[in-house]
């Protein structure tokens, strides 16, 4: 499963990229607002930093507006992916960009039928939001299983990008469900490396090593 980071904070992206843990980046209007930075500048900066796909979301609600904004954003860098909402207008824009060879990420997906429509529109990525479904006591991970089954039944090439991930357990469950990608907040990605037994074991090794009085170099 590929790892995208879900943030517009450059320092976090740089840090994770330096660890070699990043396959791409997703942003959304809320993350851009939180960063306090200029949208187009941030996207250009992220695209220079990261080799993989970088999702930049349109703000328009209608087809013409989405096409105009998406075409502008696509010119920022070759690795820009146009993020479009899962509405009829968004799906029409998705078909438009797919026809032009521009990658798309159809976002705000909350049902298997929506994911089916996105695949039929030729989306590169579909973003089902796990955490926001869980917030409503609906099993978000079940949606990933359903989409995996439907896409495999028909050989759709759209990548399942598990989104709205809130915990390490979400990451594991998304991987088990066969998501192609998970977009994950920076803190959750770093937390995946933690285990109390790793820390305990390392402390013991350090003490025992010190007691030998040896050094490797
Ligand atoms: C995905 O592309 C979205 O940016 C993101 O995963 C939404 O997560 P949230 O529900 O935690 O805001």
Q: What is the pLDDT of residues 76-120, one digit of tens each?
A: 999 999 999 999 999 999 999 999 999 999 999 999 999 999 999
* Ligand 1: centre distance to CA 72 (Å): 23
**pLDDT digit string (tens) for 118-165?**
999 999 999 999 999 999 999 999 999 999 999 999 999 999 999 999
Predicted pLDDT of residue 14: 97
Predicted pLDDT of residue 1: 98
Radius of gyration of the chain (CA): 20
Cβ 181 under 6 angstroms from ligand 1: no
Burial per residue of 38-69, b for 16 or more beta-carbon CB atoms within 10 angstroms, e otherwise: ebeebbbbbbeebebbbbbbbebeebeebbeb
Predicted pLDDT of residue 155: 98
What does the alpha-carbon distance between residue 124 and residue 70 come to, in Å, rounded to a whole number? 15
**pLDDT digit string (tens) for 16-55?**
999 999 999 999 999 999 999 999 999 999 999 999 999 9
Q: Write out the two tokens for 213.
A: 């009085």
Q: What is the largest CA-CA distance in the chain?
A: 71
Cβ 26 under 6 angstroms from ligand 1: yes
Q: Which residue's alpha carbon is nearest to atom 8 within ligand 1? A: 164
Q: Which residue's alpha carbon is nearest to atom 4 within ligand 1? A: 28
Angle between helices 140-154 and 112-120 (to 10 degrees): 40
Predicted pLDDT of residue 113: 98
* Ligand 1: centre distance to CA 164 (Å): 4
Cβ 105 under 6 angstroms from ligand 1: no
Q: Which residue's alpha carbon is nearest to atom 9 within ligand 1? A: 164
What residues form DSSP beta bridges with 125?
A: 105, 159
**pLDDT digit string (tens) for 155-206?**
999 999 999 999 999 999 999 999 999 999 999 999 999 999 999 999 999 9
The atom of ligand 1 lying closest to the CA of 166 is 11
Cβ 6 under 6 angstroms from ligand 1: yes
Would you give the DSSP letter of residue 138? S
Q: pLDDT band at residue 64, thresholds of 50, 70 and 90?
A: very high
Give the DSSP H/E element, type plus range, for residue 12.
helix 10-18
The pLDDT > 90 percentage for the chain reads 100
* Ligand 1: centre distance to CA 185 (Å): 9
Predicted pLDDT of residue 127: 98
Tell me which residues are annotated as active site.
83
What are the boundaries of each domain within the chain?
2-212
**pLDDT digit string (tens) for 22-31?**
999 999 999 9
* Ligand 1: centre distance to CA 127 (Å): 9
CATH assignment of 2-212, given 3.90.650.10, 3.40.50.2300, 3.20.20.70, 3.40.640.10? 3.20.20.70
């Amino acid at each position: 499963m590929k790892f995208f980071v879900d943030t517009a904070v450059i320092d976090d992206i740089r840090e994770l990229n330096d660890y070699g843990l990043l396959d791409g980046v997703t942003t959304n209007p809320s993350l851009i607002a939180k960063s306090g930075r200029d949208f187009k500048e941030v996207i250009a900066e992220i695209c220079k930093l990261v080799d993989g796909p970088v999702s930049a979301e349109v703000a328009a609600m209608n087809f013409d507006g989405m096409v105009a904004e998406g075409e502008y954003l696509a010119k920022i860098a070759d690795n820009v992916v146009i993020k479009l909402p899962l509405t009829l207008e968004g799906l029409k824009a998705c078909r438009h960009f797919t026809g032009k060879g521009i990658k798309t990420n159809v976002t705000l997906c909350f049902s298997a039928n929506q994911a089916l429509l996105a695949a039929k529109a030729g989306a590169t990525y579909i973003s089902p939001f796990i955490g926001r479904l869980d917030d409503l006591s609906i099993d978000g991970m079940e949606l990933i299983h359903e989409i995996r089954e439907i896409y495999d039944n028909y050989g759709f090439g759209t990548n399942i990008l598990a989104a709205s991930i809130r915990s390490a357990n979400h990451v594991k469950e998304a991987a088990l469900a066969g998501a192609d990608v998970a977009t994950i907040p920076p803190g959750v990605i770093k937390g995946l490396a933690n285990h109390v037994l790793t820390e305990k074991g390392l402390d013991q090794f350090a003490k025992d090593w010190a007691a030998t009085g040896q050094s490797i170099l």
